[in-house]
Structure 1
Amino acid sequence: MKLVMNHDQYLEWKYGSKTTLDIKLENLGIRNSKEFERQFVIGIAVAFFIANHPTIVHAVNSDGIDDLGATFLSYIRKGGRWIAIICASVEIIRSGMKKGGSASEIGQIVIKYSLLYASLYIITWIFDQIEKVF
């Protein structure tokens, strides 16, 4: 197996201050091999603990999560509406101020921001349709 190292790493390997494993880990972005070993051992221990002590949790109902998600979604939609209105207005003003601006350019801007805002509602409708199918 080939090992890629820079000049400094080669000198440290040559004089014995670094091993090939240290250089490989350093090339992966891991500077302290002892810290990596400690984290790796802890990670393996946690994985074995979870594998040997499975706990299955079933939610009784998801009404609370649905209500919370609907609240967040309504805030995102309200914010998205105003962001779309502001950005569309700024872009329409810019196109009107520049030389050679046409009405078709303004129509494209209106369609673009209308579709962006409509996508906030269309995505949830698509997900609802998928849920009904399956």
Structure 2
Amino acid sequence: MNVNIFETTIDIDESLVAESSDEIRDQIREYESGDRLDFDLRVTLPDGMTGTVMSAMADIPYGETRTYGELATALDTTPIAVGQACGRNPVPLVVPCHRVVGSDGSLKGYSAADGTATKRRLLDLEAEVCERARQTRLPTR
């Protein structure tokens, strides 16, 4: 299913989410408006590295980031493997792959529509909602 956020479209594999498409869209609208910090959706994680990385990404709190290297260390793998798994995330936004950044704070990539421009908007929203208190790794513009 396609969902609209910030004038762009993100493709979400709704077959992996237990709740209805309407519920997914409602929660994304609440997220976009800053009224929702966590998604209350039951996601079936794929097997293998993608599912393992998705589980780790799901634990990154709203308004915070982790580096590919930090996740790699925690999962005993490589930053490249983490990046590849992020790119295969079938439910971007719901499982927050946008919160994973390069070791220098750079955005690197984002598999959803408009790539890093969308990733930047998502992180900016979270930083704004958190009053920028917890965003520690993103470079200022």
TM-score bracket for the superposition, by shorter chain length: under 0.3
Q: TM-score, normalised by structure 2?
A: 0.18
Q: TM-score, normalised by structure 1?
A: 0.19
Bigger Rg over Cα: 1
